[in-house]
Amino acid sequence: MSDWKPKRFWKTATATECDGGFTVLLDERGVKTPAKAALTVPTLSMAEAIAAEWDAQIETVDPVTMPLTRGANAAIDKVRTQHAEVAALLSEYGDSDLLCYRAAGPDALIARQAEHWDPILDWAAESLDARLAVGEGVMHVAQNPNTLARLRAEVESFDEFSLAAAHDLISISGSLVLALAVTRKAITVDHAWMVSRIDEHWQIEQWGEDDEASALELTKRAAFMDAARFYELCRR
């Protein structure tokens, strides 16, 4: 695998208005996506945040340090051309939502899941008219088709940028309901992350930390937070 990275060739990265939205200029050159489309984003705040990522590159460009740029690239190059497919894929999480699969024991874990997960399911029932059923263990819990249809409509209503953000919020947490609660500001992103890791943190309490698992959790948490920030930048 090649370690080659493009070198920085520009002096300044600036956000500016353009046809259809806002973009980033590297000196006078507009940024392009990997598929060579114009990097046009919906808000000035997003363009400014992306420009800051480009400005932070020193000698070479490291995409790992540019999550907002990567998010915009994904929205434009992938989600825009496959919106229906991506929405359908993410909607399927409603039929296997993390919050619906409860431990059979011990009692302390059952109580912890109920304390943190039940209020979010109640919120979905009240705010989205989407009451999900709950079961024990890993056997599939059948959900009401009308409930799933309402959740699917929520996902389908996202534009390509919001859907790109939702993709990571849903896939990393394993919960469609958690992601929707974050996007609707029913809960904070920090709280969403915490409640999505109840099972993992319970295991750590019982058996201790594993260095590799801890490093992976930090990586996932950073990606989750980046996705929430990207969603917010879509809206303002």
Per-residue HEC secondary structure of the chain comes to CCCCCCECCCCCEEEEEECCEEEEEECCEECECCCCCECCECCHHHHHHHHHHHHCCCCECCHHHCHHHHHHHHHHHHHHHHHHHHHHHHHHHHHHCHHHEECCCCHHHHHHHHHHHHHHHHHHHHHCCCCCCCEECCCCCCCCHHHHHHHHHHHHCCCHHHHHHHHHHHHHHCCHHHHHHHHCCCCCHHHHHHHHCHHHHHHHHHHCCCHHHHHHHHHHHHHHHHHHHHHHHHHC
CATH class held by domain 82-235: mainly alpha
Q: What residue segments make up the domains of the chain, in order of their start?
A: 13-65, 82-235
The pLDDT, as a whole number, for residue 6 is 85
Specify the CATH number for 13-65; select among 3.40.630.10, 3.50.50.60, 3.40.50.1110, 3.30.2180.10.
Answer: 3.30.2180.10
Report pTM.
0.95
The pLDDT, as a whole number, for residue 5 is 75
The pLDDT, as a whole number, for residue 1 is 40
Q: Is the pLDDT of residue 2 over 50?
A: no
pLDDT tens-place string over residues 112-143: 999 999 999 999 999 999 999 999 999 999 99
pLDDT tens-place string over residues 31-85: 999 999 999 999 999 999 999 999 999 999 999 999 999 999 999 999 999 999 9
